[in-house]
Amino acid sequence: MGDERTKMKNRHILGAVLSLIMEHAGPLGRMTSALFLMVFVLLPSLLFAPSYSLNSTSSTLAGTPGVHNLYWQDSAGLSGYIFQFCNGTWNGTGCGGGGASNWADSSCSYKRQLNFSTGFGTQNLTNFPVLVVLSSSRINYSSTSSSDIRFYDSDNSTLLYKETELWNSSGKSYIWVKKLSLNNNTKDYIWAYYNCSNTNSDSKTQVWDSNYTAVYHSNSSSGGTLVDSTNKYNGTQTNTPTATTGQIDGAMNYAVSSQQYYSTSITPGKTFTWEVWANISSYTTYHTMICTSSTNYQLFDQNGSALSIWTPESGMGGVNAGVTGLSAGTSYYFVEVRDGDSITNGYKFYKNGALTSTQYTTGTWSPSNTIMIADRADSLTQAFNGALDEIRISSTNRSASWLNATYLTGMDQLITYGSEQAKGSSGWVNDSWVAFSSGMCSTPYTACWSNVTKVINSTGNAVIAWCVSTNNTLNVSNGTSCSPPFTYLTVAQTPTQLNQSASPSQPQLYGTVVNFICNYSNASNNAPITGATVYVNLNSFNYTATYNATTGNYTYTNSTLPLGSNTWYCIANETGYQSQTGSTQTYTITLSSNTTIVSLSPADGSAVTQRTVKFTYNVTWVAYTPINCSLWDSSSGTFSFALLNSSRLVNASQNNITKTYSRDYDSITWAIQCCDSSGACPMSSQQIVAVHTSNIGISASPPSPQCINSLVYFYCNYTDGNGIPIQNALVNMSFGSKIYSNDPALLLLGYPPVYYNSSLGEYYFYTIIINSQGDYPYNCSASQNGYPYNSTSSTYTIKDLLNSSLSVNSTPATPSVYGTSVYFNGTYTNTSGAQPIILTNALCSLTIPGPITYNNLIFNTTTNSYGVLVDALAPYDNNYVFQCSQTCFQTASYHGYFYMSYSGLPLSPALTFEDPLYSTKTNGTSHKLISAASSNDSFVANISYSMSGSGWVYTMVTKPIKDNPQCNELPPPDSSKILLVKNSTYIADTSPTGCPQVNSSYAGVIFEDDYCGRISNCNLASLPYAYNFTSPIYNSISNASYVLLNGDYHVVQNISKLREFYLNGYYRASNYAPSFLMRLSGQFTQSPYGMESFVKINQFVSPTSAVDYYYFNSSLNPLTVYKIKGMPNCENKAACSQPPPHFYLDNEIAVANSSGTYTHLQIYTGGMSLVTP
């Protein structure tokens, strides 16, 4: 193929030479001798350009370097060549390049290929943030901007998310791009498109996967807020850190003397990754980079040129991160990874992408404090001293591959930047001209090789095209190898997998023979790959591993491992297969042969809240393998063997023994003992643990269901597993939406308290009467230090009152003869159902005049009724009330009367109360007498003194000049008079905007109409009042007359005749009565100077004595006596509450005749008119 192309080129050269000869020939076509000589010497070279042959490639394996060989010859001497490469986009006629079919965004004029380095780890990465660093040597800034440039994945169609950290057209620009899948083993790349006709905005929160809790680029120009690119947790500054130069764009500088730091609201989880680029100025103490401080601290810091860590659960502290020899003024990439609780090698530490140390998480960690940056809250003097950049907090344990790739991209070592391609241009990549050197030539310089190595496209079956243009020392060139170019198809690599292990397991004694094993296999069928090149990198040196056909493994053996921690990993590759590099492992060699035991959990002095307890411990052995391990405890009363470990022991890792206890313990001493093959039985240090469980129960009294208006007590019983009440617990109880508590914080907020009943061993609260029906949830929750929280709930049902009825009968029936005993019985019935049901558990009572009440009437099963025999009925009408009630039923009342006829003393024409001497005073023209009142219990109660209600007043009436006055037409204010109004329409509103003086300027108020009851602003509660009279009183009560306004019962009474008799009556001498002076001083015993008022003595049954003093004498009358409202010294409530003298009466029967029975109270209230609203 090369020879024909050379001949075609030479024909063109020959024509050029002949033209030159003709130009220099003479008129006869003759040449000069010099010209002839030149043609003679040069013509062979001019006729022949460099020729080529033996084209070949060393590899067609996708994603691998391939040498493209071409042999050149030229007799004049070879000068140099240009290599042209079309890497996988040859379409038969041209290289894809900038053609429309190979252009992702038609709005853009240019693109560049950004190629990623392989071998950054052992796994492909998903959603990885790569850093694109641009400069004037990598892009033409005049053709693009931060809102113009965009990035597409290797498929040349998927637009990728980006965040521009800095755009600096005069220097470096930093852009973070989310690579959906970053391939570790084969060539991978993205495309940068720019000089576009539209814009492409940043989507910074989309760049960082969901496992990133916060990403701080630390590029604030003035301190201020530390911005989180995930937009979740911005940092808040203290003491103003300053901006400085960082590893990537800017950083924040912190001064330990100024205690500068940022605080966040991030509470880390049990699994996390912390990353930071740190450049310390100088070492003075511990210098915090990232931490959670105070309780359950987690510190990631530097101290004395070493990486330092402090963890709360593992007993680690100080320089335990495997990094020493750090230099001030140097930027390092540090990472701390926590895999979770109680995990072998659960802590990992990295420096500049390489694993430096692993530590065992020996227990659990419950983070409770938030993350701080550059300082710790409980020790501010341990602040960082220098610059921190690119701080990242993740909620997952990032892999070694991820962290090494992060380091490489931060160092700008992960990407190589391709040349610019213009839209519509060829996809050919032209190398620079290369001069042939002697090392390229077998015969310098007439026979040379143009051997060029290129990394082949990573996709299988991609079409590769290449060619070379060469010139000789006469500058005659040959580029015919490009018309057409040489082509070949790529062959896909076979996917592989790599597993690595060491035997025996670490740690081992010095001199132990250790086998490092690499299993390199086909990922599709797990078949071993034979003939591969496999190394074990041990302490940074590569050693060849030998293949074992029996095991299918590659093994390297070493018996001289140095003391301490040795790092190692496998490296494997084979033609046609993906190469693999394993993650870094450690192998520890020690001189110790003792078995050591460390008790892990439960922690010393702690309490467990269940009876099944897992005792965990770490047992480590070197020379002698433990035969067994056992639990010792004091549950039997003495510290002794308790239980043997039943599972296989794991060296230098967590083991456990689980025991179930039959009861609770306040204190158990425990330890682990392990006996090894040497006969030694070491024991761990003794620790103390409490085993506390709890039970909780709730109850109510009376039990559910009950009915409305029930008073209910709720109890909560909180005990330990042995049934003993737990005192001083924190208890919250609820009924419906109401909460009761003994929590001091809630009590300060006004929550009602929960009380402790020491006799019952129960917490309880009681609620008020529940006055509405429904199902009410109630709950109790309780907790105490060292005991488990417990809670329980139930429902309490309140029902509505059921309908009931009451029928009453008497034996004999009314009427009857005075003195006859009467049996009253009532039947109390449930009428809420279809059929009435007699209620047999009710409380029934009977009230008769006197008043006399018979309670707790007995149920008669014969008559199915409640009854009582009464022999105290008075003559004539007896009003009585029969009443029954039972839980969940409506109270029923029956009002009746029973008539008792009287057949005693002869009828008197009139029962009078008179003064026999009054007629002599008036010349016999008239008698002073008082008529008896009718038997009216309410009337008697109205007139007798009581301290309840609104009181009363006996005073003068004052009227306005109009029947329906305005507020300004009322009589002058006078607190000694009663206001009497016919029509209250304009004055009944007693609010501040109405007529407030009505309620404050008079002794009492009487309205004849009912307007006050029909409006909401009529408020007369502060003084005696009455309104809404059925009969007119306004005209019957004259102005300036006296009345008794009874505020207890809202009635108006005229007691003028009684007052007149009291004030104007005559007296006679009596040795049974007190004297006049004794009366004035309130003494009511007998006196030889006694005197009493005249009464009609023969009307009294017995004794025949005047009433007015007899009922003051407690030795003669043990009954209750009554003061009479409106009488002297009892004109109002305040006056009547003072000591005597007063006008007293009792309610004892004084007269019994054909006209009826009359008490003293009825007689002395006789003749008074009563006006009732």
Q: Clarify whether residues 318 and 381 are in a common domain.
A: yes
Question: What predicted TM-score, i.e. pTM, was given to this entire model?
Answer: 0.40
**Interacting residues of 491 by C-beta distance below 8 A, sequence separation 6+:** 60, 61, 62, 460, 576
Q: Give the C-alpha distances (Å, rounded to integers) separating 135 from 143, 684, 1059.
A: 13, 63, 119
Question: Is 880 strand, coil or helix?
Answer: strand
Q: Is residue 407 part of a domain?
A: no
CB distance 176 to 162 below 8 Å? yes
Is the confidence at residue 1030, as pLDDT, over 70?
A: no
* Secondary element (H or E) of residue 278: strand 272-280
Cα–Cα distances in Å, from 1137 out to 946, 976, 1078, 1111?
9, 18, 21, 19
Q: Is residue 335 part of a domain?
A: yes
| Domain of residue 573, CATH code | 2.60.40.10
Which residues on neighbouring strands pair with residue 1169, listed in sequence order?
A: 1054
pLDDT of amino acid 906 = 25
Kindly tell me if the per-residue pLDDT of 177 is higher than 80.
yes
Q: Classify the phi-psi angles of 801: left when phi > 0, otherwise alpha if psi is within -120 to 50, otherwise beta.
A: beta
Number of domains within the chain: 9
Question: Residue 317 phi/psi, 5° resolution?
Answer: -170, 145
- Give the pLDDT confidence score for residue 623 in this predicted structure: 61
- Averaged pLDDT, 691-704: 89
**Residues facing residue 590 across a β-bridge:** 509
Q: pLDDT at residue 92 above 70?
A: yes
Residue 687, pLDDT score: 93
Q: How many CB atoms lie within 10 A of CB 1145?
A: 24
Q: Which of 670, 559, 682 is nearest to 621 (CA)?
A: 682
* pLDDT of 908 strictly over 50: no
Place 754 in a pLDDT band, splitting at 50, 70 and 90. confident
235 and 338 belong to one structural domain:
yes
Does the residue 913 lie in any domain?
no
Average per-residue pLDDT in the chain? 81
Q: What is the DSSP letter of 705?
A: P
pLDDT of residue 15: 47
Which tens digits make up the pLDDT trace of 294-347?
Answer: 767 788 898 878 888 888 775 566 656 888 888 889 999 999 999 988 887 788
Q: Are residues 679 and 703 in the same domain?
A: no
Cβ partners under 8 Å of residue 869, min gap 6: 821, 822, 823
Count other C-beta atoms under 10 Å from residue 106's C-beta.
11
d(CA 350, CA 121): 14
On whether both 64 and 108 belong to a single domain, the answer is no
pLDDT of 701 reads 87
Q: DSSP E strands: which ranges in 762-861?
A: 762-766, 774-784, 787-799, 804-811, 816-817, 822-830, 837-838, 843-848, 852-854, 858-860
The three-state secondary structure class of 1039 is coil
Question: 606 with 545, same domain?
Answer: no
Q: What is the mean pLDDT of residues 469-494?
A: 88
- The stretch 1021-1041 carries a mean pLDDT of 80
Asked if pLDDT for residue 32 goes beyond 60, the answer is no
Name residues whose C-beta falls within 8 Å of residue 573's C-beta, 6 or more positions apart in sequence: 532, 533, 579, 580
Q: Is the pLDDT of residue 1153 over 60?
A: no
Q: Grade residue 632 by pLDDT with cuts at 50, 70 and 90.
A: very high
Lowest mean pLDDT among 160-174, 350-364, 546-560, 1019-1033: 1019-1033
Please give the pLDDT value at position 781: 93
Which one-letter amino acid corresponds to residue 214?
A
Is residue 1108 domain-shared with residue 1141, that is, in the same domain?
yes
Rg (CA), the chain: 57
Please answer whether residues 350 and 402 qualify as being in contact, where contact means their C-beta atoms are separated by less than 8 angstroms.
no
In a domain, 410, yes or no: no
Alpha carbon separation from 458 to 92, 210, 454, 491, 493 (Å, rounded): 20, 30, 12, 9, 8
* Residue 44 confidence (pLDDT) above 60: no
pLDDT band at 1081 (very low <50, low <70, confident <90, very high): low
Domain final residue, candidates 675, 691, 707? 691
Three-state DSSP class for residue 139: coil
Is residue 669 classed as helix, strand or coil in its secondary structure?
strand
Give yes or no: residues 1016 and 1112 share one domain: no
Kindly state the average pLDDT of the residues 1151-1168. Answer: 57
Considering the chain, what percentage of its residues have pLDDT values greater than 90?
40
Nearest to 652 by CA among 632, 685, 622: 622
Query: Is the domain of 43 the same as that of 76?
Result: yes
Instruction: Kindly state the tokens that stand for 1157.
Output: 């029975």
User: Same domain, yes or no, for 770 and 755?
Assistant: yes
Please report the pLDDT score of residue 1109 as a whole number: 45
In this structure, what is the dihedral angle of CA atoms 54, 55, 58, 63, given to the nearest 10 degrees? Answer: 180
Q: Using one digit for the tens of pLDDT, what is the confidence trace for 620-630?
A: 876 667 777 89
On the question of pLDDT at 120 being above 80, the answer is yes
CA separation for the pair 365, 363 (Å, rounded): 7
Whether 34 is in a domain gets the answer yes
State pLDDT tens for residues 976-992. Answer: 999 999 999 999 999 98
Domain that holds residue 1075: 918-935+1058-1170
- Domain assignment present for residue 909? The answer is no
Query: Helix or strand or coil: residue 17?
Result: helix
Domain boundary among 657, 691, 725: 691
* pLDDT confidence bin for 1120, thresholds 50/70/90: low
Q: Do 130 and 104 fall into the same domain? A: yes
Task: Report if residue 941 sits inside a domain.
Answer: no
Q: Is the pLDDT of residue 551 over 70?
A: yes
Q: What is the mean pLDDT of residues 159-185?
A: 94
For residues 1-8, average pLDDT: 39
Q: Please say which residue of 404, 422, 440 terminates a domain.
A: 422
- The answer on 203 and 217 residing in a single domain is no
The answer to whether residues 637 and 765 belong to one domain is no
Residue with the larger pLDDT of the pair 964 and 628: 964
Please identify which residue in the block is written with the tokens 């060029």. 452
User: Could you tell me which residues come within 8 angstroms of residue 1090 by beta carbon, excluding any fewer than 6 positions away?
Assistant: 1069, 1070, 1071, 1072, 1073, 1074, 1075, 1109
Task: HSE, CB side, 13 Å, CA atoms: give it for residue 453.
Answer: 3
In a domain? residue 270: yes
- Which 8-state DSSP code applies to residue 611? S
Q: DSSP labels for 1047-1097?
A: TTTTEEEE-HHHHHHHHH--EEE-TTS--HHHHHTT--S--TT-EEE---G
- Residue 138 CB contacts under 8 Å (≥ 6 apart), including other chains: 112, 417
**CATH code for position 1043:** 3.50.30
796-806 pLDDT, tens digit each: 998 888 899 99
Considering 59-73, 167-181, 417-431, 1075-1089, the range whose residues carry the highest mean pLDDT is 167-181
Task: Summarize pLDDT for 1087-1107 with one digit per residue, the tens.
Answer: 787 766 644 334 333 333 334
pLDDT for residue 230 is more than 90: yes
List pLDDT tens digits, range 242-280.
Answer: 889 899 988 999 998 888 888 999 999 999 999 999 999
What local confidence, expressed as pLDDT, does residue 892 receive? 94
pLDDT reported for residue 937: 43
Higher pLDDT, 552 or 928: 552
